[in-house]
Chain A
Amino acid sequence: MPLLEIESLNVDYRASRGTVHAVEDASFSLNKGETLGLAGESGSGKSTLGLSIIRLVPYPGVIASGHVRIEGTDILELPESEMQSIRGRKVAYIFQDPMTSLNPVKRIGAHFVELIRTHEPNTSAADALGRAKTILESLGILAERINDYPHQFSGGMRQRIMIGLAITLNPDLVMADEPTTALDVIVQQKILDLLEGLRKVYGMALILISHDLSIILERCDKIIVLYAGQIFEYASSKELHRAPWHPYTQGLLHSIPNIELSDQKLSAIPGSPPDMLSPPKGCRFWPRCPYAMEECRVEEPELIGHEQSHFVRCFLYDKKAGSHIERNREG
Chain B
Amino acid sequence: MKKTKTKLRSILSTLMPGLSSLSKRGPSGWMVLVGIAIVSSIIVMTAIAPWISPYSPILSRVGPIRAAPSLQFPLGTNQLGQDMLSRILCGGSLMLQVSALSVLICFLIGVPIGLFASYAGGMVDSTTSLVIDAVYAFPGLVIAIAIAAMLGPGVINTALSIAVVYIPSYFRIVRSQVLSIKELTYVEAARAVGAKWYTILFRYVFPNVIPSIVVVVTINFADAVLTAAGLTFIGLGVAKNIPDWGWDLTDGRQYLGSGAWWIITFPGIMIVLLALGFTLIGEGLSEMLNPKLQR
Is A242 positioned at the interface, with any CB of B under 8 Å from its CB? no
Which residues of B in the span 17-31 have a Cβ within 8 Å of any Cβ on A?
Answer: 24-26
Nearest-CB distance from A28 to chain B (Å)?
Answer: 29
Beta-carbon nearest neighbor of A15 in chain B: B295
Quick check: is A271 within 8 A (CB to CB) of the other chain? no
Closest to A13 in B: B295
Q: In angstroms, how far is the closest chain B Cβ from the Cβ of A66? A: 24
The proximity string for B residues 215-239 relative to A, scoring 1 for CB distances below 8 Å and 0 otherwise, is 0000000000000000000000000
B20 to chain A, nearest CB (A): 14
Interface hub of B24, B25, B26, B295 (most chain A Cβ within 10 A): B295
- CB neighbours (8 Å) of A16 from chain B are 24-26
Segment 245-270 of B: residues with Cβ below 8 Å from A: none
Residue A60 is within 8 A (CB to CB) of chain B in the complex: yes
Min CB gap A6→B, angstroms: 26
Number of B residues whose C-beta is below 8 Å from A? 4
When distances are taken between beta carbons in the complex, the residues of chain B under 8 Å from A60 are: 295
Tell me, rounded to whole Å, the shortest Cβ–Cβ distance linking B152 to chain A: 51
DSSP class of A's interface residues: helix, strand, loop or mixed? loop
The B-contacting residues of A in range 160-194, CB under 8 angstroms, are none
Complex Cα spacing A60 to B27, Å: 14
Interface majority SS (helix, strand, loop, mixed), chain B: loop
Mask of A45-70 contacts with B, CB within 8 angstroms, 1/0: 00000000000000110000000000
Interface string of B8-38 (1 = CB under 8 A from A): 0000000000000000111000000000000
Number of interface residues, chain A, beta carbon within 8 A: 5
Using CB atoms, name the residue of chain B closest to A60.
B295
Shortest distance in angstroms between A278's beta carbon and chain B's nearest beta carbon?
16
Q: Hey, which chain B residues are within 8 Å of A15, CB to CB?
A: 295
Q: Is A320 an interface residue (CB 8 A)?
A: no
A59 / chain B contacts, CB cutoff of 8 Å: 295
* Residue of B whose beta carbon sits closest to that of A17: B24
| Cα distance A315–B26 in the bound complex, in angstroms | 40
Q: Which residues of A contact B26 (CB under 8 A)?
A: 16
User: Considering the complex, which residues of chain A in the window 1-37 have a beta carbon less than 8 Å from any beta carbon of chain B?
Assistant: 15-17
Q: Which residues of A contact B24 (CB under 8 A)?
A: 16-17
Quick one: closest A residue to B25, CB to CB?
A16
Instruction: Indicate the member of A15, A16, A59, A60 with the most B CB atoms within 10 Å.
Output: A16
Chain B minimum-CB-distance residue to A16: B26
Minimal beta-carbon separation of B245 from chain A (angstroms): 37
Contacts of B25 in A (CB 8 A): 16
How many whole Å from A20's CB to the nearest CB in chain B?
12
Q: How far is the CA of A16 from the CA of B29 in the complex (A)?
A: 11
CA distance A114 to B148 in the complex (A): 58
Task: Give Cα distance in the complex from A59 to B24, angstroms.
Answer: 18
Q: How far is the CA of A59 from the CA of B295 in the complex (A)?
A: 8
Q: Mark B142-171, 1 if CB is under 8 A from A, else 0.
A: 000000000000000000000000000000
Complex Cα distance A17/B21, Å?
11
| Interface 0/1 of B264-295, CB less than 8 Å to A | 00000000000000000000000000000001
- Least Cβ distance of B210 to chain A in Å? 24
In the bound complex, residues from chain A placing their C-beta under 8 Å from that of B295 are 15, 59-60
- Considering the chains assembled together, what is the distance between the CA atoms of A17 and B295 in angstroms? 11
A59 to B293, CA, bound (A): 12
* A19 vs chain B, min Cβ distance (A): 14
Q: Report Cα–Cα, A289/B22, bound state, in Å.
A: 38
In the assembled complex, the Cα of A15 lies from the Cα of B295 at a distance in Å of 8
Minimum CB–CB distance for B5 against chain A, Å: 13
Q: Which residue of B lies closest to A58 (CB)?
A: B295
Q: How far does the alpha carbon of A60 sit from the alpha carbon of B24 in the complex, in Å?
A: 16
Residue of A nearest to B26 (CB): A16
B62 to nearest A CB, angstroms?
Answer: 51
Q: Which residues of B contact A17 (CB under 8 A)?
A: 24
B32 to chain A, nearest CB (A): 14
Distance of A17 Cα from B25 Cα, bound (Å): 8
A59 CA / B26 CA spacing, docked (Å): 14
A59 to B294, CA, bound (A): 11
- Among all A-B residue pairs, the 7 with the closest Cβ atoms: A16-B26, A16-B24, A60-B295, A59-B295, A17-B24, A16-B25, A15-B295
Using a CB–CB cutoff of 8 Å, the interface residues on chain B facing chain A are 24-26, 295
Q: A residues within 8 Å of B by Cβ? A: 15-17, 59-60
Could you list 7 A-B pairs, sorted by A, with CB under 8 Å? A15-B295, A16-B24, A16-B25, A16-B26, A17-B24, A59-B295, A60-B295
